[in-house]
Amino acid sequence: MTSRLSVRLARLLNMVPYLIANPGISAAEAAADLGVTTKQLMSDLNQLWMCGLPGYGPGDLIDLSFSEESIEVTFSAGMDRPLRLTSTEATALLVALRSIVDMPGMVDPSAAYAAIAKLEAAITGAAPAPSVLPGAEPPVEPPEVATVRAALADGRALRLVYYSASRDEVAERVVDPIRIVLVDDNSYLQAWCRQAEGVRLFRFDRIEGATELDEPAAPPRDATDRAAGLDLFQDDPSVPLARLLIRAEHAWVLDQYPMHRVRTNPDGGLEATMRFATLDWMARLLLGFGSGVTALGPPELVAAVRDRSTAALAAYAEAGLTESGI
């Protein structure tokens, strides 16, 4: 069964108890709750007429009375309660929730902790535990994260105060939110940046402030494609490019920084490139790697690293912290 069909089947199986619990609900309200369009909902309702008990005659099939104004279930064919999770399914869901609850922006923490408590109770058979430890404050997400999630839900533009690690600066951006994504164990707001005129990813833990604007978000149509802007390390020819030599035992830096591998040398060393915005920031970064990473270019970066290294050694010597004195 394809994933699309399995999703629809799960929705159909749970739709009857949902409609029984909400008699007379309008098609628009039900579609919003179930996460589908009104057209899809009406198609599902027509499909339900074909579902029921073996025999498939009068009194066996689900019976409904529905229009866009009101939906009523007149015969449920025994499907009065939602499907229940198996212990394996509940455990998998619990693990997934715990893995994202501390990632800013992914979920509402208070709702996630409440869901975790209910799942744990369902698995153990005990009464639901409090969503937080006794005496502890309920989890509250940072205000800027809550603002971003609210603006996304409201379809509003945002003004962000954002720290760019590659540029080593804090700047304001006006963006049109698209969605929240998880990339390499970090959560990001995917949005159309009006300043850069392109799709960008804004890491939640680097958003220092957010203001919801009184204007609708209006990203270009092609910008809303799920793959748009998901490459964190897009080449920008306006930003300087560093050429680096990385020793084999420091290959891990490729996983931690926006570097592109160019080649692997016979000794196991790697040559890579990395975009950077300020010479000062890039020089400081490379000095932190010691002899593990060497700047090959551009010349001004090589000179900056050399000058900083010379100054650091001179400061150590002046303080009496030479190799023999440490």
Q: What is the pLDDT of residues 146-170, one digit of tens each?
A: 999 999 989 999 999 998 766 667 8
Residue 285 vs residue 86, higher pLDDT = 285
pLDDT of residue 133: 46
Q: Which alpha helices (H) appear in 71-195, and where do they start and end?
A: 87-100, 109-124, 143-154
Determine whether domain 3-75 maps to CATH 1.10.3720.10: no
pLDDT, mean of residues 280-290: 88
pLDDT of residue 147: 93
Residue 211 vs residue 119, higher pLDDT = 211
Fold topology of 143-224: SH3 type barrels. (2.30.30)
- The band of 213, judged by pLDDT with boundaries at 50, 70 and 90, is very high
pLDDT of residue 116: 83
DSSP letters, 214-227, are EEE----GGGGSTT
Residue ranges of domains in the chain: 3-75, 86-141, 143-224, 241-318
**Residue the block writes with tokens 């309200």:** 29
196: DSSP letter: T
pLDDT of residue 259: 83
Euclidean distance between the first and the last CA atom of the chain, given in angstroms as a whole number: 68
**236-239 contacts: CB < 8 A, separation 24 or more?**
236/275, 239/166, 239/275, 239/276, 239/277
- The band of 52, judged by pLDDT with boundaries at 50, 70 and 90, is low
Considering only CA atoms, give the Rg of the chain: 28
Segments of the chain assigned E as strands: 63-66, 71-75, 156-164, 169-183, 186-193, 198-203, 207-216, 241-246, 259-264, 270-275, 293-297
Helix (H, G, I), strand (E, B) or coil at 189: strand
Residue 290 vs residue 55, higher pLDDT = 290
Which amino acid, residue 200? R
pTM: 0.50
As given in the structure block, the two tokens for residue 190 are: 């995917």
Average pLDDT across the chain, whole number: 80
Alpha-carbon distances of 310 from 104, 303, 315, 317, 320, rounded to whole Å: 41, 10, 9, 11, 15
Handedness of CA 55, 56, 57, 60 (dihedral sign): positive
As given in the structure block, the two tokens for residue 256 are: 């931690």
Distance CA 187, CA 104 (A): 6
Strands 63-66 and 71-75: antiparallel
- The band of 245, judged by pLDDT with boundaries at 50, 70 and 90, is very high
Strand 293-297: give its sheet, edge to edge.
Answer: 259-264, 270-275, 241-246, 293-297
- The band of 135, judged by pLDDT with boundaries at 50, 70 and 90, is very low
25: DSSP letter: B
Helix (H, G, I), strand (E, B) or coil at 7: helix
Return the bridge partners of 216, or none: 156
pLDDT(131) > 60: no
- How many Cβ atoms are within 10 Å of 256's Cβ, its own excluded? 8
Return the bridge partners of 205, or none: none
- Longest Cα separation, the chain: 97
Q: What is the pLDDT of residues 6-44, one digit of tens each?
A: 567 677 777 888 888 888 899 888 888 888 888 888 888
Q: What are phi and psi of 172, to 5 degrees?
A: -95, 140
- Taking Cα atoms as reference points, which of 239, 232, 231, 241 lies closest to residue 274? 241
- Taking Cα atoms as reference points, which of 225, 88, 82, 210 lies closest to residue 158? 210
As given in the structure block, the two tokens for residue 61 are: 């099939």
